[in-house]
Amino acid sequence: MNKAKIAIIGSGNIGTDLMIKVIRTSETLEVAAMAGIDPASDGLARAGRLGVATTSDGVEGLIGMPCFDDVAVVLDATSAGAHRRNDAALRPYGKQVVDLTPAALGPYVVPAVNLGSHLAEPNVNMVTCGGQATVPIVAAVSRVAPVRYAEIVASIASRSAGPGTRANIDEFTETTSRALEEVGGAARGKAIIVLNPAEPPVIMRDTVYCLVEDCDEAAVAASVKEMVADVAAYVPGYRLKQEVQFRPVAAGDPLADLGGEGLLVSVFLEVEGAAHYLPAYAGNLDIMTSAALRVAERMAAR
Question: What is the 3-state secondary structure of 89-102?
Answer: HHHHHCCEEEECCC
Give 3-state DSSP helix, strand, coil % of the chain, rounded to 5.
40, 25, 30
Q: Tell me the binding residues.
A: 11-14, 160-168, 284
Residue among 238, 213, 222 at smallest CA distance from 288:
238
Q: Cα angle at 172 between 170 and 176, to 5 degrees?
A: 125
CB 33 within 8 A of CB 54: yes
Indicate which residue of 67, 129, 210, 215 is catalytic.
Answer: 129
CA distances from 5 to 11, 33, 72, 94, 198 (A): 17, 9, 6, 14, 40
Q: Tell me the binding residues for NAD(+).
A: 11-14, 160-168, 284
CA distances from 122 to 59, 125, 183, 299 (A): 17, 10, 19, 10
Q: Which residues make Cβ contacts (< 8 Å) with residue 245, sequence separation at least 6?
A: 265, 266, 267, 268
CA neighbours within 13 Å on the CB side: how many for 25? 18
Q: Is 67 a catalytic residue?
A: no
Residue 95 φ then ψ, to 5°: -85, 140
Judged by DSSP in three states, 79 sits in coil
Give the Cα separation of 150 and 190 in Å (integer).
Answer: 6
Catalytically annotated residues: 129
